[in-house]
């Protein structure tokens, strides 16, 4: 499978003396130079101290300086980066540091480098932390360049594409680092798969192409089943089909099963993603400005497929089942109309007042199907569902809605640990009234007020009694995302690390 780019090789080894090539070293705000850097300083009779003084370097986070061809050493380039206060680093901080290292090396057009990851006291930096740094390094390097055919002509290209081929991370716990990196690398691959799919233009990635990408995951040991349009008609997923009926490209639902638990019959966790490959709004068409962003309206499905790949690649001891609701929302002579009434798989009828509120129609049928067929222990829906969630939470947190406090808490925890942060918003019967319809069991929009909440209320009508359910509105976090230390922007892969951590912490055999 094509990932965004050729990834450099990353190896772990014990600490040794820096001798040649590009050497990247660290300094803490309190502790000062790392031992290896102190040794270099001594060897050069204080050259590093002098340079640090001139650069007014204090070891603060996000600062640093370079010594090129430092006199008295065979090293080509000595890079010094400030760590700030390492004791306060979270897992997210270690990943972010790895991302900044990648940017730093790319900026200097470095091909290979040794990274001397050493704290000021023995074993201050664990193997896991070294592995997280490596993951951040990988994620920051992701770029989507597959449709750029022309070679860049000048240095004005401000992208970070670099020639970096390999890094060696030298640390005190290289074996632990290696072991942790194996699992984390799987998660990183999942994030990059999600980014690839979200970045892919919609003429290249329709429902069928998306399903084909899912089929390829059989190579990881996932069981992949594609329910095509004819099958969906037989089953009765009419709400989902109504969304796609204006498109030339047939809708489908993909089921991805990972049976990694000791008990293969244990009920699974269900992950359900909205996969609208392009959302024009349908007959309730969206304005032209910004409509191109709606190629990312399948980011929920991308997060689910990315997480499923990660779980399979790291052979997670858990039973998890992923569902992708794949369709395209187009206006045409066959498209659904505002005021159409559709009968969902659950039997509940829906008045489609606005064809642009299509994601909830897709999810409603897939949710019902998942519960009927698999009786999941819990169900998580992920969708770029409402613009209103961006108004409420911006791009820092995804919206979280849940009928289950424990599940909500677990997602919040997983979010804080991985950086895929979520913020809980209420569900309440009072909001539910906004989607009552005069002609059907419900309508698909609830007016201007609390748009993300009424969307979640709509989904809740398709949750069976007793199913713990959480919904993540990722419209602000998974697409059109800002650049961060570990992402160059637009497609963030939001949700993959979150779901992977949710499974690891709360659904795996112990
Ligand atoms: N896919 C959009 C939501 C969206 C908006 C995602 C902006 C990412 C960025 C969704 O299908 C939609 O169109 N929602 C409508 C709902 C409304 C008609 C009730 C919206 O948010 O405007
Ligand atoms: Mn829409
Ligand atoms: Zn949409």
pLDDT of residue 2: 43
Exposure string of 36-49, with b = 16+ CB inside 10 Å and e = fewer, is bbbebbeebeebbb
How high is the pLDDT of residue 162?
73
Measured from the alpha carbon of residue 479, the closest ligand is 1
The verdict on the CB of residue 329 being under 6 Å from ligand 1 is: no
The number of the ligand nearest the C-alpha atom of 398 reads 1
**Does the beta carbon of 298 lie inside 6 Å of ligand 1?**
no
Cα–ligand 3 centroid distance for 277 (angstroms): 9
Is 238 within 8 Å of 261 (Cβ atoms)?
no
Residue nearest to atom 5 of ligand 1 (CA): 387
Nearest C-alpha neighbor of 194 from the set 99, 304, 275? 304
**pTM for the whole structure:** 0.97
For residues 446 and 442, give the distance between their C-alpha atoms in angstroms, rounded to a whole number. 10
Q: Is 473 in the pocket of ligand 1 (CB under 6 A)?
A: no
286 labelled catalytic: yes
Cα–Cα distance list, 266 to 224, 261, 309, 345 (Å) = 19, 7, 20, 25
297 lines ligand 1 (CB under 6 A): yes
- CB 477 near ligand 1, within 6 Å: no
- Residue length of the chain: 510
Q: Whose CA is nearest to atom 14 of ligand 1?
A: 386
Q: What is the pLDDT, as a whole number, of residue 122?
A: 87
With a CB cutoff of 8 Å and minimum separation 6, the contacts of 410 are: 502, 505, 506
Look up residue 343 and give its two tokens: 């009968």
Q: How many CB atoms lie within 10 A of CB 127?
A: 20
Q: Write the burial class of residue 141 (CB in 10 Å: 0-12 exposed, 13-18 middle, 19+ buried).
A: buried
Q: Do the Cβ atoms of 452 and 423 come closer than 8 Å?
A: no
Per DSSP, the three-state class of 41 is helix
- Catalytic-role residue among 360, 421, 443, 501: 360
Residue 289 CB-density burial (10 A; 0-12 exposed, 13-18 middle, 19+ buried): exposed
- β-bridge mates for residue 271, sequence order: 322, 380
- Distance in angstroms (rounded) separating the CA atoms of residues 363 and 316: 26
Phi, psi of 323 (to 5 degrees): -130, 130
Total Cβ atoms within 10 A of residue 30: 11
What ligand 1 atom has the least distance to the C-alpha of 284? 18
Distance (Å, rounded) from C-alpha 187 to C-alpha 183?
Answer: 7
Query: What is the residue-level pLDDT of the chain in tens, covering all 510 positions?
Result: 444 457 899 999 999 999 999 999 999 999 999 999 999 999 999 999 999 999 999 999 999 999 999 999 999 999 999 999 999 999 999 999 999 999 999 999 999 999 999 998 888 999 999 999 999 999 999 999 999 988 765 555 566 777 899 999 999 999 999 999 999 999 999 999 999 999 999 999 999 999 999 999 999 999 999 999 999 999 999 999 999 999 999 999 999 999 999 999 999 999 999 999 999 999 999 999 999 999 999 999 999 999 999 999 999 999 999 999 999 999 999 999 999 999 999 999 999 999 999 999 999 999 999 999 999 999 999 999 999 999 999 999 999 999 999 999 999 999 999 999 999 999 999 999 999 999 999 999 999 999 999 999 999 999 999 999 999 999 999 999 999 999 999 999 999 999 999 999 999 999
Q: 433 CB contacts (<8 Å, ≥6 apart)?
A: none
Q: Which long-range contacts (CB under 8 A, 24 or more apart) does 265-269 make?
A: 266/319, 267/319, 267/374, 267/375, 267/376, 267/377, 268/319, 268/320, 268/321, 268/374, 268/376, 268/377, 269/318, 269/319, 269/320, 269/321, 269/376, 269/377, 269/378, 269/379, 269/380, 269/502, 269/503, 269/507
Question: How far apart (Å, rounded) are the C-alpha atoms in residues 13 and 284?
Answer: 58
**84 close to ligand 1 (CB < 6 Angstrom):** no
146, 286, 395, 461: the catalytic one is: 286
> With contact defined as beta carbons under 8 Å apart, do 49 and 210 qualify?
no
Q: How far apart are the first and last CA of the chain?
A: 32
């Amino acid at each position: 499978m094509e990932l965004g780019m050729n990834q450099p090789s990353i190896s772990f080894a014990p600490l040794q003396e820096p001798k040649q090539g590009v050497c990247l070293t660290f300094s803490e705000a309190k502790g000062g130079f790392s031992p290896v850097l102190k040794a270099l300083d001594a060897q050069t009779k204080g050259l590093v101290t002098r340079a640090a003084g001139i650069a007014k370097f204090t070891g603060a986070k996000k600062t640093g300086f370079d010594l090129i061809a430092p006199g008295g050493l065979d090293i080509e380039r000595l890079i010094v980066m400030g760590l700030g206060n390492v004791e306060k680093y979270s897992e997210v901080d270690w990943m972010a540091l790895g991302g900044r290292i990648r940017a730093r090396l790319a900026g200097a057009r470095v091909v290979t480098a040794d990274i001397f990851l050493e704290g000021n006291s023995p074993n201050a930096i664990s193997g896991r932390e070294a592995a997280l740094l490596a993951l951040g390094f990988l994620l920051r390097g992701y770029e989507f360049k597959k449709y750029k055919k022309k070679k860049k002509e000048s240095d004005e290209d401000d992208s970070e594409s670099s020639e970096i081929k390999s890094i060696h991370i030298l640390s005190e716990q290289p074996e632990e680092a290696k072991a942790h990196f194996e699992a984390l690398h799987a998660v990183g691959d999942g994030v990059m798969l999600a980014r690839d799919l979200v970045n892919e233009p919609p003429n290249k990635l329709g429902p069928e192409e998306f399903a084909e990408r899912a089929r390829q995951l059989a190579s990881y040991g996932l069981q992949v089943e594609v329910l095509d349009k004819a099958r969906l008609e037989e089953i009765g997923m009419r709400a989902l089909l109504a969304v796609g009926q204006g498109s030339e490209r047939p809708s489908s639902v993909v089921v991805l099963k990972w049976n990694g638990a000791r008990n293969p019959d244990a009920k699974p966790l269900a992950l359900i993603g909205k996969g609208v490959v392009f959302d024009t709004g349908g007959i309730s068409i969206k304005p032209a400005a910004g409509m191109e962003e709606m190629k990312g309206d399948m980011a929920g499905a991308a997060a689910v497929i990315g997480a499923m790949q990660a779980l399979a690649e790291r052979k997670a001891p858990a039973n998890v089942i992923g569902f992708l609701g794949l369709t395209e929302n187009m206006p045409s002579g066959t498209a659904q109309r505002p005021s159409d009434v559709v009968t969902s798989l659950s039997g509940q009828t829906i008045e489609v007042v606005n064809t642009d509120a299509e994601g909830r129609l897709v999810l409603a049928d897939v949710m019902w199907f998942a519960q009927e067929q698999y009786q999941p222990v819990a169900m998580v829906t992920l969708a770029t569902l409402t613009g209103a969630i961006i108004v409420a939470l911006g791009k820092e947190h995804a919206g979280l809605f849940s009928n289950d406090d424990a599940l909500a808490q677990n997602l919040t925890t997983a979010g804080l640990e991985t950086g895929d942060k979520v913020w809980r918003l209420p569900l309440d019967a009072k909001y539910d009234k906004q989607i009552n319809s005069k002609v059907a069991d419900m309508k698909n929009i609830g007016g201007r007020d609390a748009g993300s909440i009424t969307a979640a209320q709509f989904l809740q009508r398709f949750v069976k009694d007793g199913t713990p359910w959480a919904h993540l509105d990722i419209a602000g976090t998974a697409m059109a995302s800002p650049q961060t230390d570990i992402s160059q922007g637009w497609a963030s892969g939001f949700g993959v690390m979150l779901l992977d951590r949710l499974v690891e912490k709360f659904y795996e055999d112990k």
